[in-house]
Amino acid sequence: MRKRTLNRLQNLALMVLFITAVVQLSQIPLLSGDWANRFQAFLTHSTDSSGGQTANLSSVLSAVHIVVTGDSEYGRYVQLYAPADGPLFQQAGPLFQEALGSATEVGATADKTLQEALDTPGIYMDLTTELPLAVVAAWLGEETSYDRPVRAMALTTEEESAVLYLCSGDGSIFRYYTALPSSAVIDLSGGYPPNNGFFAFESNYATLAPYTVLTTETISVPLIQASLPAGYSSYNLLTSLDFNAHTGYRYQESSGTEVVMESPRTLRLSPDGTVTYDGSREAASSLYQVTSSSGSPSAVEALQSGIKLAAALTESTGASPLYLRSITETDAGFQLIFGYRCTNLPVVFSDGEAALTVTITGRAITAFVYRCQAYTITEENSALLPAAMAMAIASLHPGCSLSLAYVDGGAGTLSAFWLET
Amino acid sequence: METYRLKNIAILILLLLNAFLLTLLGYQHMQSRQSDSDTVEQLRVLFSGNQLSLADSVDPLQPVLSPMTLSRNTETEADMADMLLGGGAEGASQGGGIYSYTSAAGSLQFRSGGSFDSIQLSLPVTDISDFAISFCESFGYQDIDIQLAGSGGTVTAIQYVADVPILGCGLTLVFRDGSLTEVSGAHISLENAALSSEEQLTCVSALVRFLDYRSSAGIICSEVSSVSCIYYLVESSSTLTPVWQVETDTYTYLVDAASGDVSRL
């Protein structure tokens, strides 16, 4: 009995001394590592908070133009190509989210109504590309039952609650009442004093598309360097695209293009960085399947699969990230077009082709064409035409918009240009 | 018997190990305290070299708060609406994270970021001070400032959590002719809040950032009278961000503990 008691005391002492030794070891900086942090976290029950669920979608959408109108008579505040992680979008985005979520459609409205409403304190967001409203809502973290294409959105304060306007690329404008209090929009707009920003319709360049966002501020953008990333290799691409990297069913064409066949799909890898895929609707790999909660995938579900594919292509090769330029519903499914972006400006190829074109048929990605490219920012600035001169030249072509972009002719140093679209 | 002796030896070894580790930790603790003391001394020298005095009551070694991601608590919102609308308020979602509560006295709207506003409110109140104090105590508002003029007046307060004030979580109650006519403010709940372990600026670093800002922005002040770490509510992301509140003999400044940006309150 006494022996048993002594034995138990010894065991207890061993356990206590061992635990105290481990605790003390974890507190010594020299000896602590990740295990120590986890141990400390376990003892203090602290938890790590992770980022939001919408981060994935926001990173694939282009930077937007934001126009903030305050009480001042001296113009508006304009930020061209505002990134989604920038402070202005971080404030404006949630307001559009609340407005869209609580929107009640009033109906179609005229340009004059919108232009008068834009004189009240408010926020205007030009998406720079037309997208389905469902995709825009998902990007903002909201759902909507309305279905229409959206190029731009505006929140105005001519009523007690903010009024939402949705503008399509064809010029149609729809008006919505929302539950968002106007005071929220006024509070934001009061924090951004004018910086020589304006719309085309209220300027001497009224021949431009009326809601073209313009500024006379000096714009400075750096030169960028284009190159084929070092990670562009058949092994990296075959692995990331769920092909057998060691397959024997491959050959090389006279142009140097490597053709890999895994019936019924084919992958072509060109030495210039072009990757072409042809497959069937019966996709073996989950990378090419579109997850859908119903029979036919929605635009958002199609986009999610496109994003997954884009990430596989860029991460495996070290190419620059892609952003969505358009998503179009076809008879058989969807077509997604992605482009590159650098310093928040779009990069366009001189031949007009896209960086990635994805064809979705039914519930599978059945084809894509990808141009692999990497862009790095240099120390020098682009020799950009002054904004006023660009506006004057563009206004000679009625109805066009003005935008900034890098033009990629293949490789080398790229400069930014004003483009008429 | 062998086992008994082996265990005794193991206990002895562990005792010696614990003693060694305790000594080591004690030495490190002493070194850390000395280092902290040197840092504080150097900070005071740096401040005096820039013609800026640091009050003796300022503790540069005070800990920084951790950022928090908040979750919405609609039950608390309903309770607040009940009290501000005289009971029996009916709630409804308006979409976009906006909830509206309505009773015979008027309406109250809560947004996802925590802010709330009244719409056409008229709630008769017998005793303005009692009503305001009761509401504030029920929902964690302190620093209550009651400005009465006859049967009307304004009450302002700020929400505290764990004795820390939250900038951006204020409350304004406006009374006219014995009735509550306007309510606006913001309220957060710590239920299901998640702490972030991202590194934040220490008090010493924040004071150095403030010193840099003072030099570059050319602001005029000669003394830092107090420094405290408080929270700032970022409604758009429903997060509490720690900021260092630096009170000087001219204005009060805020140093963002994550980015180091300095702004004037």
SS (H, E, C) A306-326: HHHHHHHHHHHHCCCCEEEEE
B80 and B182 belong to one structural domain: yes
B59 and B81 belong to one structural domain: no
Q: Does B138 touch chain A (CB under 8 A)?
A: no
pLDDT at A42: 59
Give a yes or no: residue B61 inside a domain: yes
Among the partner-chain residues A91, A101, A103, the one whose CB lies closest to the CB of B97 is: A101
Residues listed for chain B: 265
A322 close to A334: Cβ distance less than 8 angstroms: no
Q: Which domain holds residue B137?
A: 72-186
What is the pLDDT confidence band of residue A52, given thresholds at 50, 70 and 90? very low
User: What tokens appear for A201 in the block?
Assistant: 């319709």
Q: What is the ipTM of this complex?
A: 0.77
> A69-78, A191-200, B176-185, B251-260: which range is least confident on average?
A69-78
B103 and B162 belong to one structural domain: yes
- What's the maximum distance between 2 C-alpha atoms anywhere in chain B? 90
Dump pLDDT digits (tens) for A316-375.
999 999 999 999 999 999 999 999 999 989 999 999 899 999 999 999 999 999 999 999
pLDDT at A48: 41
Q: Which residues of A touch B108 (CB under 8 A)?
A: none
A341 close to A62: Cβ distance less than 8 angstroms: yes
- Inform me whether the pLDDT recorded for A34 exceeds 80: no
B76 and B175 belong to one structural domain: yes
Chain B nearest-CA distance from A11, in A, is: 8
Among B156, B186, B216, give the residue marking a domain's end: B186
Among the partner-chain residues A52, A93, A102, the one whose CB lies closest to the CB of B96 is: A102
User: Strands, DSSP E only, in A157-295?
Assistant: 161-167, 173-181, 197-199, 213-215, 222-227, 250-252, 258-262, 265-269, 274-278
B180 and B208 belong to one structural domain: no
* Total domains, chain B: 2
B173 close to B155: Cβ distance less than 8 angstroms: yes
**Range A167-179 average pLDDT:** 94
pLDDT at B220: 86
* Start-to-end CA span in chain B (Å): 74
Residues with Cβ < 8 Å from B35, sequence gap 6 or more? none
**Gyration radius of chain B's alpha carbons:** 26
B136 and B170 belong to one structural domain: yes
Residues of chain B with pLDDT under 50: none
Q: Does B236 touch chain A (CB under 8 A)?
A: yes
Give a yes or no: residue B4 inside a domain: no
Give a yes or no: residue B13 inside a domain: no
The CATH number that applies at residue B99 is 3.30.310
Neighbours of A226 (CB within 10 A): 20
User: What tokens appear for B203 in the block?
Assistant: 């008090």
Give a yes or no: residue B11 inside a domain: no
B56 close to B226: Cβ distance less than 8 angstroms: no
pLDDT at B3: 83
- Inform me whether the pLDDT recorded for A53 exceeds 60: no
pLDDT at A185: 95
Taking CA atoms, what residue in B is nearest to A97?
Answer: B96
Dump pLDDT digits (tens) for A231-285.
999 999 999 999 888 888 888 988 899 999 988 899 999 999 999 999 988 866 8
Chain B nearest-CA distance from A99, in A, is: 6
Q: Does B194 touch chain A (CB under 8 A)?
A: yes
What residues are paired with A338 via a beta bridge? Answer: A324, A356
What is the pLDDT confidence band of residue A49, given thresholds at 50, 70 and 90? very low
pLDDT at B245: 95
Taking CA atoms, what residue in B is nearest to A103?
Answer: B95
What is the pLDDT confidence band of residue A26, given thresholds at 50, 70 and 90? confident
B126 and B168 belong to one structural domain: yes
B102 close to B90: Cβ distance less than 8 angstroms: yes
pLDDT at A55: 36
B114 and B202 belong to one structural domain: no
What residues are paired with A417 via a beta bridge? Answer: A405
A-proximal residues of B, 45-74, CB under 8 Å: 67-69
B115 and B154 belong to one structural domain: yes
Give a yes or no: residue B24 inside a domain: no
Give the mutation candidate from B15, B17, B116, B199 for the A interface (greatest A CB count, under 10 A): B17
- DSSP codes of every residue in B152-176: EEEEEEEEEETTEEEEEEEEEEEEE
Among B163, B186, B209, give the residue marking a domain's end: B186
pLDDT at A7: 87
Among B152, B186, B220, give the residue marking a domain's end: B186
**Range A386-395 average pLDDT:** 88
Can you tell me the distance from the alpha carbon of B74 to that of A121, in angstroms, rounded to the nearest whole number? 31
B76 and B61 belong to one structural domain: no
Give a yes or no: residue B6 inside a domain: no
Give a yes or no: residue B19 inside a domain: no
Question: What's the whole-model pTM score?
Answer: 0.83
B89 and B63 belong to one structural domain: no
What residues are paired with A376 via a beta bridge? Answer: A225
Neighbour-count burial of B233, counting CB atoms closer than 10 A to its CB (0-12 exposed, 13-18 middle, 19+ buried): buried
Chain CA centroid to CA B173, Å = 21
B218 and B168 belong to one structural domain: no
